[in-house]
Structure 1
Amino acid sequence: MAEEQGRVLLEGVVGSTAYGLAHAGSDVDRLGVYAAPTERLFGLHRPGESVVTTAPDRTLHEAAKWCRLALSANPTASELVWLPEDGYLTRTALGEELIGIRRSFLSARAVRNAYLGYATQQFRKLVAKEARDDGPGAVPPARLAKHARHLLRLLEQGVHLHRTGELRVRVDDPARLRADGERIAARPGEAEALLAAAEEAFSSPGVLPAAPDERPAEAWLVRVRLTVLDGWRCAPGGTAEEALARSQ
């Protein structure tokens, strides 16, 4: 359990629930960031950097790993710090600080590569031979529609992020996206024009810097390590500096 390895700093509900695309049978996906005990980082064998469970569906990344994922604009990791207020399950003072520096992780190249890259992966799944076969090993239509929805969502989110510097987690019109997903799943060739349009949009000037600013993430990680080393248990409220003062 992650609680045995460290302390959860920030956790929220992501995936289809956060996008507004969940249905009665949808899983509730949880994503979080935890801090490993600082003393365990000094030894010969470093602790693992992720904890994944299926009951509930929960993925927790160690603080340094999450920062690396966010600096590469990983879509799933990034959405954790852009959730609506009611999307969080755990939100400590250090988690609040992480939300506060979320824009410093962004860069034009990383956003383009990540969102366009993951959308292209979904397209390849749609046009793969097994996706078009009618035999026993055929991909179920519902799975194809899910790939198509992911493709559409990633393109919309990525282009909006490139143009505005804001990651919009919840889709504007879930019903439209579901309908478009069904259409693209049936006629995946139509997605090629969408991918080309997104690539053109990413090639146009946006608001994101050429490179991320790693300094806030580095400073935040140092505060996390010092705070955990000094024994503060990340209680909600207050600042890291206040917690450090209390622990002395």
Structure 2
Amino acid sequence: MRPETLVRDHTIYACVMGSRAFGLATEDSDTDRRGVFLAPTALFWRFEKPPTHVEGPAEEQFGWELERFCELALRANPNILECLHSPFVEYVDDTGRELLALREAFLSRRAHGTFTRYALGQRGKLEATVRAHGTPRWKHAMHLLRLLMSSRDLLRSGALTLDVGDQREPLLAVKRGEVSWPEIESWMNRLANEADEAALRSPLPAEPDHRRVEDFLVRVRRASALQPDPYDEVVQGVVDGRGVG
């Protein structure tokens, strides 16, 4: 089965991410689309497994196979967790709604470590750019500040909110280069310290609910195996025992 077919025919959840989801969109902002597809169970019975992710087929579009998506979410991958909380859902079926109902099961204090490591990596790149060119890439600086805010607020409240609300204009000022790099560094340091403090008293559990997520995945895989797509010759052949090729 071609990767684009998996996205076209087996997507269970699709949303808009990036600046539009964060409340930071301007006239020149792209529309970043992310999604989750459920590869038919019978495809895993072959030597050649379905892809764990697919880039495209449209521009600025990226999707993950459900199992890979859940694995990354359980590890508190920032990009994956934020996908589950996008305010702009473009498509969701019954399985996708079950996935969204599990959002809280993925959240844990692990997010402090993963968000911090990601932020440190991005900050290192910004600092290298400043050393080489005298100024950072302002758009990247804006998004790093937003990520640090999101991390702090998640640890404080136990809820992940993407829209920056009343921080939109201060952050867009960073994007326009109206805030000096030393001011940005100070802002980053303050947000990181606030996240560290919030982690000590966070209402989040220490670990995500692996069992609940695994039960969902097993149930979905079983249902897919029992109800193969009648229009997919490859899957139907495997399920019926006719083989492939």
Alpha-carbon distance in structure 1 between the residues aligned to 2:148 and 2:197: 10
1:178 aligns with 2:177: no
1:201 aligns with 2:201: no
Alpha-carbon distance in structure 2 between the residues aligned to 1:115 and 1:81: 16
Q: Which amino acid aligns with 1:70?
A: A
Could you tell me whether the CA contact under 8 Å between 1:36 and 1:47 is conserved in 2? yes
Deviation at 1:157, TM superposition (A): 0.7
Alpha-carbon distance in structure 1 between the residues aligned to 2:3 and 2:26: 29
Deviation at 1:191, TM superposition (A): 4.5
Number of the residue aligned with 2:92? 91
Number of the residue aligned with 2:47? 44
Number of the residue aligned with 2:84? 81
Residues 26-46 of structure 1, C-alpha deviations (whole Å, 9 max, x = no match):
211011110111011122222
Return the TM-score normalized by structure 2: 0.82
Cα pair distance change 1:58/1:197, threshold 3 Å: same
Return the TM-score normalized by structure 1: 0.81
Q: Which amino acid aligns with 1:169?
A: L
Q: Which amino acid aligns with 2:121?
A: Q
1:60 aligns with 2:72: no
Q: Could you say what secondary structure the match of 2:84 adopts? A: helix
Residues 42-66 of structure 1, C-alpha deviations (whole Å, 9 max, x = no match):
2222221000027321111000000
Work out which of the residue numbers 211, 215, 218 in structure 2 matches 1:219: 215
Q: Which amino acid aligns with 2:104?
A: R
Cα pair distance change 1:117/1:202, threshold 3 Å: farther
Alpha-carbon distance in structure 1 between the residues aligned to 2:104 and 2:180: 34
Flag structure 1 segments of 5+ consecutive residues without an equivalent. 234-248
Cα pair distance change 1:184/1:132, threshold 3 Å: farther
Number of the residue aligned with 1:147? 140
Alpha-carbon distance in structure 1 between the residues aligned to 2:160 and 2:117: 17
Cα pair distance change 1:67/1:60, threshold 3 Å: same
Deviation at 1:160, TM superposition (A): 1.0
Cα pair distance change 1:193/1:153, threshold 3 Å: same
**How many percent identity over aligned positions?**
34
Q: Which amino acid aligns with 1:23?
A: T
Residues 106-132 of structure 1, C-alpha deviations (whole Å, 9 max, x = no match):
110x2001211222122112211x433
Alpha-carbon distance in structure 1 between the residues aligned to 2:197 and 2:105: 22
Number of the residue aligned with 1:239? none
Aligned pair count? Answer: 223
Flag structure 2 segments of 5+ consecutive residues without an equivalent. 230-245
- Give the aligned CA root-mean-square deviation in angstroms: 2.2
Alpha-carbon distance in structure 1 between the residues aligned to 2:146 and 2:66: 27
Residues 152-204 of structure 1, C-alpha deviations (whole Å, 9 max, x = no match):
11111111111211110111121122224546663254245225413532442
